[in-house]
Amino acid sequence: MSELLLAIQAVYDALDQIGVQPAAITKNYGTPEEETIPRTAYGDGWNACAEELLDKIYGQLEVLSKGVDKNFALFALLDLGWAEGDKYILNMNDTFHYACADAEEVSKEEAPEVARLFKAHGYKGLDYWVAEKRGYDPEIPRYKARVEEVRTQERKTKC
């Protein structure tokens, strides 16, 4: 899944580099010899061709992107865990308990909230979400403090 989205993003980035012909070019701007040269028929043709091709390519990229959960793709790109069918598994190793392999499932329905918390708080947001889902905070002090920090911030934004 993440490989597909990385490839799609690489194509978008490449397409963003395709230049278009300007409506006109001004030489000697701000001087008495200032001259404006309008775009030629070649430039008009270039722009029309580029626009037509880009529309077709973007349409195909849209088709390729369908069915890929954007939140799961974000999690995969950030290497937060791994996709497993219609769930994403967050890697929570050594977060809630010392020297403990741990993970938490995220459903597609839960993913938007997890993504929102990550975007707002970074990794602390993930710790907070898992703590809220489990109903208990990490026993490791630095992770517990991170959860409490996000909890305080989230309460302030809901008031």
pLDDT digits (tens, 9 = 90+) for 34-59: 999 998 898 889 889 888 888 888 88
Q: In which order are the strands placed within the sheet that holds 103-107? A: 81-84, 87-91, 103-107
User: What is the reported pLDDT for 8?
Assistant: 72
User: Averaged over 16-37, what is the pLDDT?
Assistant: 89
Work out the angle between the directed axes of helices 111-121 and 141-158 (0-180°, nearest 10). Answer: 100
User: What is the reported pLDDT for 2?
Assistant: 56
User: What is the reported pLDDT for 5?
Assistant: 66
- Domain positions in the chain are 2-65, 70-158
Split at pLDDT 50, 70, 90, the class of 76 is: confident
Signed CA dihedral, 3, 129, 118, 139: sign only: negative
User: What is the reported pLDDT for 3?
Assistant: 64
Looking at per-residue pLDDT, the higher value among 39 and 9 belongs to: 39
Residue with tokens 């580029």: 50
User: What is the reported pLDDT for 43?
Assistant: 86
Name the CA dihedral angle for 105, 110, 114, 115, rounded to a multiple of 10 degrees: 120
Give the pLDDT confidence of 80-91 residue by residue, as tens digits: 998 887 899 999
pTM of the model as a whole: 0.62
Split at pLDDT 50, 70, 90, the class of 101 is: very high
Looking at per-residue pLDDT, the higher value among 80 and 7 belongs to: 80
Strands 35-38 and 24-27: antiparallel
In angstroms, the CA 38 to CA 103 distance is 62
Q: Is the pLDDT of residue 114 over 60?
A: yes
Closest CA to 126 of 100, 156, 150, 152: 150
User: Averaged over 73-84, what is the pLDDT?
Assistant: 84
Q: What share of residues in the chain are helix, strand, coil (percent, to 5)?
A: 55, 15, 30
Return the beta strands (E) in 67-107 as ranges.
81-84, 87-91, 103-107
